[in-house]
Amino acid sequence: MNLLDISKQAFVIAFLLYCVAFCFYVVTITGKKWKNHEPQQHERKWGRVSFVTSTLGLITHLVYVITRWAWSGHIPVSNMYEFMSFLSLMIMLAFTILYLIYRKALLGLFATPLAIIIMAYAAVFPSDVQPLIPSLNSIWLYIHVTLAAAGDAFFAVSFAAGLMYLLRTVDFKGTDKSARRQKRWLEITFYSIIIVVGFIVSVFAFRASGYEAVFTPKAAPNETAKVSSAREVYNLPPIVAPHNSQLESADSFLGFSKPLFEVPGWFKGVNAGRKSNTIVWALITGTILYGLLRLILRKPLSEALSPALKGIDADDLDEISYRAIAIGFPVFTLGALVFAMIWAQQAWGRFWGWDPKEVWALITWLFYSVYLHLRLSRGFHGRKASWLAVLGFLVVMFTLVGVNLIIAGLHSYAGTD
């Protein structure tokens, strides 16, 4: 067994340990209501078991990084599989740090599934070790990407704490305009999370079935060789076709084998048609999953989760959310902006070039700058601050995922298949 095999197994074991830890965190929180259980003693006991399990997952996750690094010769953050795997590691590391400070087991109930979803998302992409392209072969790769991921990880924990605060404080029985608005936006947040889960489910389901559809661009007869090399392969049934293309072959799925429409020509992302098709399937699968959960629970997801937070000090959640951003912001500033600009100067001969990823990193930085300004000088606490923490992480995820899937740029290599 070589180091790469060890790395792959460590990734799977870490994922499973996180799943088990999540189940233990559920027992820690919900078990306090069981009969013949003293709540504080139960939470201490199972909180300790949960934390040990998630820590074992973190250690195993580190084994994945170290062995893959030793095998490839560079830190594993050079493509979407590696970076999202590394981000989930940093989220668990950030959670571990904040848990040791605040000793709030409930935080694991939300931070752990976030890491699990991101690891599952990473597994959607090919896990082959790829050589670094020239622009990535630099010591700044280690500094820029690791610090940026660390900052994003603390923003993720802030998102989890902020979402918990909202679940704890929103009046789900209220009928006034403010209460209805809060409930609606909370449900939209959970629907967005389910969409990501739907993306993962759809990709793995059709990948397991071996589905394939192939498109080739339309071209003049003398460009046949170029056309054959530019073919685009789908692993999901084609609802959206590539721009100016023709269907070469496709497996049938429920009698469906032809695309319904073509992606617009202005949609310039790498493999724009395939990625647009994947987004459509994520929306379809996510909506179906959301509908099934609503049918099972017979109530909105946010309302169903809210009772688990009864008895939790909302002020503690607000403090954790703020502290996570206070730690993550300077780390993100150094990694995603300062060191990134230094690297850009060395790699491309300019500090700033308005590349889409650069622009959205700046938008993320400005957003959290506004958060800290409002928090420290305008007294933004509680619900307002929590909504900003939730919205901020949605901006982070669009910067990490949406830009790679939708917009072409110098960072598009991170989203290749």
Q: What is the DSSP string of 225-280?
A: HHHHHT-EEESS--SEEPTTEEEEEE--BTTB-S-SEE--TT--STTHHHHHHHHH
pLDDT bucket at 405, cuts 50 / 70 / 90: low
Place of tokens 């395939």: 274
347-353 long-range contacts (CB < 8 A, ≥24 apart) are 347/135, 347/138, 347/140, 348/135, 348/410, 353/410
Instruction: Name the helix (H) or strand (E) containing 213.
Output: strand 213-217
CA diameter of the chain:
80
Three-state DSSP class for residue 53: helix
- pLDDT at residue 200 tops 90: no
236 torsion bin: left (phi>0), alpha (psi -120 to 50), beta (else): beta
The alpha helices in 240-306, defined as continuous H runs, are 272-297, 301-305
Q: What torsion, rounded to 10 degrees, do the Cα atoms 26, 29, 30, 31 define?
A: 100
pLDDT at 103: 82
Q: Residue 238: left (phi > 0), alpha (psi -120 to 50), or beta?
A: beta
Q: 3-state DSSP call for residue 379?
A: coil
pLDDT in tens, 158-194: 998 899 899 988 888 888 888 889 999 999 999 988 9
The model's pLDDT over 280-324, given as tens digits with 9 standing for 90+, comes to: 888 999 999 999 999 999 989 999 888 877 777 888 889 889 999
Please check whether residue 307 lies inside any domain of the structure.
yes
Check: CB of residue 295 under 8 Å from CB of residue 254: no
Choose the weakest-confidence range: 56-65, 73-82, 255-264, 323-332.
Answer: 255-264
- Give me the domain span that covers residue 86: 3-172+300-414
Residue 68 covered by a domain: yes
Specify the 3-state DSSP secondary structure of 214: strand
Q: Is the pTM of this model over 0.85?
A: no
pLDDT score at 135: 65
Count of domains forming the chain: 1
Strand runs (DSSP E) across 300-394, as ranges? none
Any idea how long the chain is?
Answer: 417
Task: Note whether residue 112 is domain-resident.
Answer: yes
Least reliable range by pLDDT among 70-79, 251-260, 268-277, 332-341? 268-277
* pLDDT tops 90 at residue 400: no
DSSP 253: B
Asked if the structure places residue 269 within a domain, the reply is no
Q: State pLDDT tens for residues 338-350.
A: 888 888 787 777 7
The position carrying tokens 């923490």 is: 389
Residue matched to tokens 């901006």: 395
Beta 240-241 vs 261-262: how paired, if at all?
parallel
Query: Does a structural domain hold residue 242?
Result: no
- Where is average pLDDT lowest: 61-75, 223-237, 262-276, 319-333? 223-237
